[in-house]
């Protein structure tokens, strides 16, 4: 069968319309766009912050319970299935799939913002604010976000590997509850929301990455940054990526992605060893102490009386951003986790994922806190004057060989991450709108290329509407309708686990033979 004919137009067309209907007006009517964006952001975050926060904590508690419960022993796969990858490779794949440009963007700069605007009435730029800055980075890039990522993995993995239904769409993983409706209108609505969320989440990544890359490039070339330069960066990267996707140079992309992990290791070790090693270790230890003692307060802190804006700007925004990426991660992690038990996957993802992010924040964020608190560079003042990108450049230049080595390596890291993020998003989006695609099959390349271009257009809209709020809003609005869908998936999983395993587990068996798995209608 001709591959191009396999596009599911009932999904593709609404997804296309929604994406364009949001990006084009934002791009064309910039001024009004920015006003609306601010209003919608304030409305959504102030009315729903409690829901985002509760959902984040729910993910952590549910997964820890699931992993420790009798269901933890269940293998995601048949009795003879063995894990396909070594645990190290598996963990590294999960980390690289879930983390891209975003951590490079935030790790140096986020503590600087926290020091200047700490929560809980802590005094700005004080010693305590510096200590909390370390802890907040570990909180926003730790257990809760990884639990959000992990949540959809289990319903999807159970559907694919145990129920043997090809659940390459999230609607399929809701079948335990919605049954046949997953194949009808309700299923389509679910999948459109999922696609919308992915576009929104990736929009945030691109909306942050493009201005950063522009600043970095401008500082190396010694030219003025401007909107035009941003548009050139966005245009060139979209064109290069679309070209790569079109010409089938996927292997090249994978090689680039591998190269990038080495650049990241290098820059982490470089800052750790040549920077204030002991300070970093002390600050990290201390940060984890603050995090663990205050975990519930941070998790549920809505700041209801003062309404100072901290949870909206940080926790709610972050949880939303991770939620928007969660379906993509769930599909990916489910695919590579065949043959592992639920317990292994729960704790593997939560522990390896958190530690990976913690290291970035401990080293790069710790370095930023160090130069501020020891007076090497007043990043707090600089960020107010030149914004995020310029401050990152200033921080990098304080390192040995800052200009000749660190800055170019950092740019390479950002550019490759930008490319691999768009590339993998285009891949997942196009497989979402392809009918009956097998696990190892590639979605049609016209469609993949189209998605790469559409993501570029969407990012253009966000950039023109301007500012961080538009970029943050993209994830927040996209994630909100996804929360009930993710909860539906959890119910669906629980129903399946109970019907398939409750009798068996009480008799001590762990794996089920195929004849005992209840069929899905």
Q: Which residues bind ligand NM2 (CB under 6 A)?
A: 98-102, 205, 321-322, 325, 421
Nearer to ligand NM2, 62 or 321 (CB): 321
Q: Which candidate, 487, 426, 485, places its Cα nearest to that of 193?
A: 485
> What is residue 341's three-state secondary structure?
strand
Least distance between ligand NM2 and beta carbon 75 (Å): 28
Least distance between ligand NM2 and beta carbon 174 (Å): 22
Question: What is the C-alpha to C-alpha distance for residues 507 and 29, in angstroms, rounded to an integer?
Answer: 65
Q: Which candidate, 498, 470, 418, places its Cα nearest to that of 71?
A: 498
Question: What is the C-alpha to C-alpha distance for residues 220 and 405, in angstroms, rounded to an integer?
Answer: 11
Least distance between ligand NM2 and beta carbon 451 (Å): 16
Nearer to ligand NM2, 83 or 98 (CB): 98
Nearer to ligand NM2, 178 or 197 (CB): 197
**H-run or E-run covering 457:** helix 445-465
Q: Which residues pair with 434 in a beta bridge?
A: 7
Least distance between ligand NM2 and beta carbon 101 (Å): 4
Residue count of the chain = 521
Nearer to ligand NM2, 76 or 147 (CB): 147
Nearer to ligand NM2, 135 or 197 (CB): 197
Q: Give phi and psi for 378, each to the nearest 5.
A: -85, 75
Least distance between ligand NM2 and beta carbon 342 (Å): 23
**For 192-208, what is the HEC assignment?**
HHHHHHHHHHHHHHHHH
Nearer to ligand NM2, 151 or 182 (CB): 151
Q: Which candidate, 48, 52, 22, 54, places its Cα nearest to that of 37?
A: 22
Nearer to ligand NM2, 77 or 145 (CB): 145
Q: Which residues neighbour 175 within 8 Å (Cβ) at sequence distance 6 or greater?
A: 159, 165, 182, 492, 520, 521
Q: Give phi and psi for 80, each to the nearest 5.
A: -95, -5
Least distance between ligand NM2 and beta carbon 106 (Å): 8
Residue whose structure tokens are 């603050």 = 290
Least distance between ligand NM2 and beta carbon 99 (Å): 5
């Amino acid at each position: 069968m001709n591959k191009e004919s396999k596009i599911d137009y009932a999904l593709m067309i609404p997804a296309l319309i929604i994406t364009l209907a949001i990006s084009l007006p934002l791009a064309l009517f910039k001024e009004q766009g920015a006003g609306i964006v601010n209003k919608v952001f304030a409305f959504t975050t102030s009315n729903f912050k409690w829901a985002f926060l509760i959902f984040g904590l729910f993910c952590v508690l549910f997964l820890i319970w699931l992993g420790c419960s009798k269901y933890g022993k269940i293998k995601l796969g048949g009795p003879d299935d063995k894990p396909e990858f070594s645990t190290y490779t598996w963990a590294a794949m999960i980390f690289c799939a879930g983390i891209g440009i975003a951590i490079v963007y935030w790790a140096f700069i986020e503590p600087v913002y926290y020091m200047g605007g700490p929560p809980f009435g802590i005094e700005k730029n004080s010693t305590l604010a510096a200590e909390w800055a370390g802890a907040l980075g570990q909180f926003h890039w730790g257990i809760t976000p990884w639990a959000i990522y992990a949540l959809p993995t289990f319903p999807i993995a159970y559907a694919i590997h145990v129920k043997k239904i090809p659940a390459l769409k999230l609607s399929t993983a809701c079948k335990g509850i919605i049954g046949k409706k997953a194949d009808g209108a309700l299923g389509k609505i679910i999948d459109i929301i999922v696609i919308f969320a992915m576009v929104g989440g990736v929009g945030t990544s691109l909306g942050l990455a493009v201005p950063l890359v522009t600043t970095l490039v401008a500082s190396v070339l010694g030219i003025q940054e401007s909107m035009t330069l941003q548009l050139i960066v966005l245009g060139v990267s979209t064109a290069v990526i679309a070209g790569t996707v079109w010409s089938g140079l996927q292997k090249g992309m994978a090689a680039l992605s591998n190269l990038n992990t080495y650049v990241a290791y290098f820059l982490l070790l470089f800052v750790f060893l040549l920077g204030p090693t002991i300070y970093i270790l002390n600050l990290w230890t201390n940060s984890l102490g603050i995090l663990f003692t205050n975990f519930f307060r941070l998790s549920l802190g809505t700041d209801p009386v003062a309404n100072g804006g901290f949870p909206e700007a940080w926790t709610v925004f972050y949880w939303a951003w991770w939620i928007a990426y969660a379906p993509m991660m769930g599909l990916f992690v489910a695919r590579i986790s065949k043959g592992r038990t639920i317990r292994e996957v729960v704790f593997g993802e939560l522990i390896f994922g958190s530690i990976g992010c913690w290291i970035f924040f401990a080293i790069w964020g710790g370095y930023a806190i160090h130069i501020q608190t020891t007076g090497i560079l007043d990043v707090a003042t600089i960020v107010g004057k030149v914004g995020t990108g310029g401050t990152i450049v200033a921080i990098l230049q304080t390192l040995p060989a800052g200009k000749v080595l660190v800055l170019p390596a950092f740019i390479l890291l950002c550019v490759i991450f930008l490319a691999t993020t768009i590339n993998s998003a285009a891949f997942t989006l196009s497989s979402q709108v392809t009918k009956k695609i097998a696990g190892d099959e590639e979605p049609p390349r016209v469609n993949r290329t189209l998605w790469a271009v559409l993501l570029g257009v969407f990012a253009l809209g966000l950039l023109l509407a301007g500012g961080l709020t538009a970029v943050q809003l993209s994830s927040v609005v996209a994630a909100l309708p996804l929360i009930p869908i993710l909860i539906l998936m959890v119910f669906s999983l629980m129903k399946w686990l109970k019907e398939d395993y409750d009798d068996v587990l009480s008799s001590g068996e762990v794996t089920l033979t195929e004849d005992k798995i209840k069929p899905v209608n």
